[in-house]
Amino acid sequence: MLKFVLILVVILSVLLLLFLLYQSQKMLRHVQKQQAIENKKYGKPRQLHPKLQQTKKDQD
């Protein structure tokens, strides 16, 4: 009887762990989508690295 209860507790613990992993991934994807939307909406202007700016000026 005790072995059965222990096995059941282990199985439930694993299921709980998987459920929490799923929920955290779902929340992470949601936050990443929101961040991408925010970045598109309020995107800051991009700037070239100083070395690349210099080579671009040299080419012009």
pLDDT tens, residue by residue, 28-46 = 999 999 999 998 888 777 7
User: Can you give the pTM of this predicted structure?
Assistant: 0.61
Higher pLDDT, 56 or 38: 38
| DSSP letter (8 states) at residue 42 | T
Rounded Cα gap, residues 30 and 37, in angstroms:
11
Rounded Cα gap, residues 15 and 7, in angstroms:
12
Residue 11's pLDDT is what? 99
Residue 43's pLDDT is what? 77
Q: Is the pLDDT of residue 56 over 80?
A: no
